Amino acid sequence: MGIKLLKPQTRSTIITYAIVIGAFLAVTVLDGVGLISNSLSGQLVPICAYVSLAVSLNLVVGVSGELSLGHAGFMSVGAFTGVVVAGCLARMGVENELLLFAGSAIVGAGAAGIIGFLVGIPVMRLRGDYLAIVTLAFGEIIKNLLNILYVGVDDAGLHFSMTDSASLGMTKGTILINGPKGAVGIDKISTFVLGILLVLITVAVVLNLMHSRDGRAIMAVRDNRIAAESVGINTTKYRLMAFTVASALAGAAGVLYAMNYSTIVPSQFDFNQSILILVYVVLGGMGNISGSIISAAFLTVLPEVLRPINNYRMLLYAIVLILVMVVPHTKIYQRIAEAVRSRFSKDGGAASQSAPAETGGEAHE
Amino acid sequence: MEALTNLINGMSLGSVYAIIALGYTMVYGIAKMLNFAHGDVIMVGAYICFCSVSYLGLPALAGVALSVVGCTLLGIIVERLAYKPLRNAPSLNVLITAIGVSYFLQNAALIIMGSDPKSFSSIISLPALNLFDGKLTISATAVLTIFACVVIMVALTMFTGKTKMGKAMRACSEDRDAAQLMGINVNSTISMVFAIGSGLAAIAGVLMCLAYPTLMPTTGSMPGIKAFTAAVLGGIGSIPGAALGGVLLGIIEIFARAYISTQLADAVVFGVLIVILLIRPAGLLGKPVNEKV
């Protein structure tokens, strides 16, 4: 019962880390016993990438309260930058996979962060649905620009072109990014352990930011912009901070995602991808980090589990999505929930005393 | 002459966007929700028209009428089942539900109709018109589309301005609670808006497939996004704004495709949107709302 003595904030932080580490241990043990199917073990790295993406998007949507529909754009900036960096490092003779991955992830995150900052400056002038449509627009623009980007590397260094691969002017180089065909011949160096590490780093960054002075300022702006402004908080600065950090984290997740496949194409990172990540965040609960982790993992696995009913699985996915959103608002559900709640409070009078503190903790998180 | 042809094509594409954007903007105005499933209603409308002409052997106009009826019903049913329970829920929950509906419609179409593209030109094809001794070629589709858009705009403006139902719609979008106190049935008004929007989407679907005759389960999603962009560009919630935004967007897209780059056309369209929103944050015809404490 020691955990109940802790502050609600500390408790939820511990629970969040415990979920990630527990999941990692469980998967490792199950894998050792041979209970993880092939299709599922292929999903482990994407799950980690989507968990990181969901947690980082939660920083924008949940913590900062801005609807962003272009998260996949920052993911793709990270992914393609990472591929280029890995290609250069490999050419320079770096063979250590950990070093390769760390180098591409850091540069990828940096590039996505810079793009996020630049995009954020105009975006943060807008509010609400107008902000949402502009993030969507930037996401589509990034996708379009990547579609005509050609990058190659040879002994002379990097070559860029916006027309075709022939105009790169290389004789004995490798093409790293080939326009609409995307990045080809990627070293598949992402592993589940690296994925879990990235998730832990993402969670640590987001939670520390949330619990810092800056994080409280970000949440104050979300809860009441005018009140926050009147106590001297620079609203644009804090919204931009959340947006930039989230973009950088999305970039790192993009690197993880890209390094799991031998080929990635720009059209993968479209509006639907952004929406997919947003669904994880809303389903997990706005501003709730452990919720994002669980819902991202669950919803990435769900289509795999439904694979036996191949044709109908996305249909079922859609129905699950609608029901999860609609059912809690139906009268029948509310009546049942009310009945269950009153039953529990009748059973133990002592238990109800600690209940307010618990609900207080959840509301805070 | 080439520029004139492009202008007419742009206006025609823009008219399709405008008709779709009307649905977005009316629903947003009254229900304050972004109906992401709207683009997929277009696709359903086009499929209904396609099926009734090619499988049932109906004449083209009957097919269009059937698809309007079908989509109107679809709009009402979707609103009742998926959106009505969420009337007082946070707007993001409604958004996710709309995305769920969008996935549902796309995948239902995939299962029923298959993933292979259907060629729309096999059922309805209109001749091209030659003007000025063949110097200027306009497709009859373009003329029809622009004409349909104008008729719809005039009809809709009169409907919202003059009729009792139209006034109720405006009242609901102004202040839903006050409208209810004045004895307006808010629920049926919202249903009506969804019905009109979805019916218009069916018309847009048929018109779009006349110009771009490949029909797939994902046909509606990109025009849906573009029309949403158009609605925001014009000022979301404003009916003339949707028309203006749609036509502008169509013209910009066609000109960008012709004179800048085919691959970058979408980027140019979205770039223009961003610039306009930075100059006028509430869209071209939108009213800026100042928050008060």
Interface with A, mutate which of B113, B263, B276 (most A CBs under 10 A): B263
Give the tokens for residue B16.
């399709």
From the options 3.30.70, 3.80.10, 1.10.3470, 2.40.360, give the CATH code of A10-313: 1.10.3470
Q: Using CB atoms, which residue from B85, B96, B236 is nearest to A330?
A: B85
B214: helix, strand or coil: strand
B178 located within any domain: yes
Cβ contacts (< 8 Å) between A136 and chain B: which residues? 225, 229, 270
The answer to whether the CB atoms of A226 and B291 lie below 8 A apart is: yes
Q: Using CB atoms, which residue from A133, A225, A314 is nearest to B228?
A: A133
Summarised one tens digit per residue, pLDDT across range B208-267 is 888 887 888 888 888 888 898 899 888 888 888 999 999 999 999 999 988 888 888 889
B92 located within any domain: yes
Taking the Cβ of residue A147 and every Cβ of chain B, the question of whether any pair is shorter than 8 Å is answered with yes
The answer to whether the CB atoms of B281 and A126 lie below 8 A apart is: yes
pLDDT at A357 over 70: no
Give the chain B residue nearest A119 (alpha carbons).
B274
pLDDT at B49 over 50: yes
Whichever domain contains B250, its CATH number is 1.10.3470
Cβ contacts (< 8 Å) between A271 and chain B: which residues? 221, 225
Q: Using CB atoms, which residue from B92, B263, B282 is nearest to A144?
A: B263
- What distance lies between CA B121 and its chain's CA centroid? 21
Do B223 and B235 form a contact (C-beta atoms < 8 A)?
no
pLDDT at A332 over 50: yes
Summarised one tens digit per residue, pLDDT across range A133-157 is 889 899 999 998 988 888 888 777 7
B65 located within any domain: yes
Residue A172, C-beta contacts closer than 8 angstroms, at least 6 positions apart: A154, A155
- What distance lies between CA A75 and its chain's CA centroid? 8
The answer to whether the CB atoms of B103 and A318 lie below 8 A apart is: yes
Give the chain A residue nearest B80 (alpha carbons).
A326
Confidence of residue A364 (pLDDT cuts 50, 70, 90): very low
The answer to whether the CB atoms of A318 and B101 lie below 8 A apart is: yes
First to last CA, chain A: 20
- From chain A residues 272-291, the ones with a CB under 8 A of any chain B CB are 272, 275, 278-279, 282-283, 286
Confidence of residue B42 (pLDDT cuts 50, 70, 90): very high
Cβ contacts (< 8 Å) between B241 and chain A: which residues? none
Distance CA A347, CA A71 (A): 46
Q: Using CB atoms, which residue from A133, A144, A326 is nearest to B266?
A: A144
Cβ contacts (< 8 Å) between B237 and chain A: which residues? none
Cβ contacts (< 8 Å) between B271 and chain A: which residues? 137, 141
Cβ contacts (< 8 Å) between A134 and chain B: which residues? 273-274, 277
Total of domains in chain B:
1
Q: How many CB atoms lie within 10 A of CB B112?
A: 10
For residue A257, the distance in angstroms to the closest alpha carbon of chain B comes to 24
Give the chain B residue nearest A321 (alpha carbons).
B100
Do A104 and A82 form a contact (C-beta atoms < 8 A)?
yes
| Predicted ipTM of the assembly | 0.83
pLDDT at B63 over 60: yes
pLDDT at A304 over 60: yes
Q: Which residue has the higher pLDDT, A134 or A39?
A: A134
**Domain assignments of chain A as residue spans, ordered by start:** 10-313
Q: What is the mean pLDDT of residues B105-119?
A: 87
pLDDT on residue A2: 62
Give the chain B residue nearest A270 (alpha carbons).
B222
Q: What is the DSSP string of A127-183?
A: -HHHHHHHHHHHHHHHHHHHHT-EEEEETTEEEEESS-GGGG--SS-EEEEEGGG-B
pLDDT on residue B93: 83
B135 located within any domain: no
The answer to whether the CB atoms of B100 and A329 lie below 8 A apart is: no
Confidence of residue B196 (pLDDT cuts 50, 70, 90): very high
Q: Which residue has the higher pLDDT, B155 or A352?
A: B155
Do A239 and A100 form a contact (C-beta atoms < 8 A)?
no
Cβ contacts (< 8 Å) between B28 and chain A: which residues? 129
- Flag the least confident range among A10-14, A56-60, B37-41, B153-157: A10-14
Taking the Cβ of residue A145 and every Cβ of chain B, the question of whether any pair is shorter than 8 Å is answered with yes
Q: Which residue has the higher pLDDT, A94 or A268?
A: A268
From the list A199, A244, A198, the residue with the least C-alpha distance to A218 is: A244
Q: Using CB atoms, which residue from B97, B267, B277 is nearest to A325?
A: B97
Q: What is the mean pLDDT of residues B21-32?
A: 87
Cβ contacts (< 8 Å) between A137 and chain B: which residues? 229, 270-271, 273-274
The answer to whether the CB atoms of A312 and B261 lie below 8 A apart is: no
The answer to whether the CB atoms of B93 and A282 lie below 8 A apart is: yes
Provide the b/e sequence for A110-143 (b: ≥16 CB within 10 Å).
bbbbbbbbebbeebbebeebbbbbbbbbbbbbbb
Interface with A, mutate which of B36, B94, B97 (most A CBs under 10 A): B97
First to last CA, chain B: 56
Which structural domain range is residue B145 located in?
2-111+140-279
B124 located within any domain: no
The answer to whether the CB atoms of A134 and B273 lie below 8 A apart is: yes
For residue B129, the distance in angstroms to the closest alpha carbon of chain A comes to 34
Summarised one tens digit per residue, pLDDT across range A220-247 is 999 998 999 999 999 999 999 999 999 9
Give the chain B residue nearest A127 (alpha carbons).
B281
* Radius of gyration, CA atoms only, chain B: 19
- What distance lies between CA A346 and its chain's CA centroid? 41
pLDDT on residue A201: 94
Confidence of residue B19 (pLDDT cuts 50, 70, 90): very high
Cα four-point dihedral sign A151, A81, A94, A194:
negative
The answer to whether the CB atoms of B111 and A311 lie below 8 A apart is: yes
pLDDT on residue A348: 47
The answer to whether the CB atoms of A132 and B34 lie below 8 A apart is: yes
Q: What is the mean pLDDT of residues B13-28?
A: 91
Q: What is the mean pLDDT of residues A185-189?
A: 80
B286 located within any domain: no
pLDDT on residue B123: 61
Distances in whole angstroms, Cα of residue A5 to Cα of each of A2, A289, A345, A362, B8: 6, 21, 22, 15, 72
Summarised one tens digit per residue, pLDDT across range B120-150 is 766 666 666 666 666 677 778 888 889 999 9
Confidence of residue A30 (pLDDT cuts 50, 70, 90): confident
Taking the Cβ of residue A318 and every Cβ of chain B, the question of whether any pair is shorter than 8 Å is answered with yes
Cβ contacts (< 8 Å) between B273 and chain A: which residues? 133-134, 137
Interface with B, mutate which of A58, A133, A162, A323 (most B CBs under 10 A): A133
Between A and B, how many CB-CB pairs are < 8 A? 128
Give the chain B residue nearest A284 (alpha carbons).
B93
B128-131 and A174-178 strand pairing: unpaired
For residue B128, the distance in angstroms to the closest alpha carbon of chain A comes to 32
Average pLDDT of the residues of chain A: 84
pLDDT on residue A196: 92
Confidence of residue A356 (pLDDT cuts 50, 70, 90): very low
pLDDT on residue A349: 44
Q: Using CB atoms, which residue from B95, B97, B270 is nearest to A322?
A: B97
The answer to whether the CB atoms of A329 and B111 lie below 8 A apart is: no
- Flag the least confident range among A111-115, B135-139, B184-188, B212-216: B135-139
Cβ contacts (< 8 Å) between A274 and chain B: which residues? none
Summarised one tens digit per residue, pLDDT across range A42-63 is 888 999 999 999 999 999 999 9
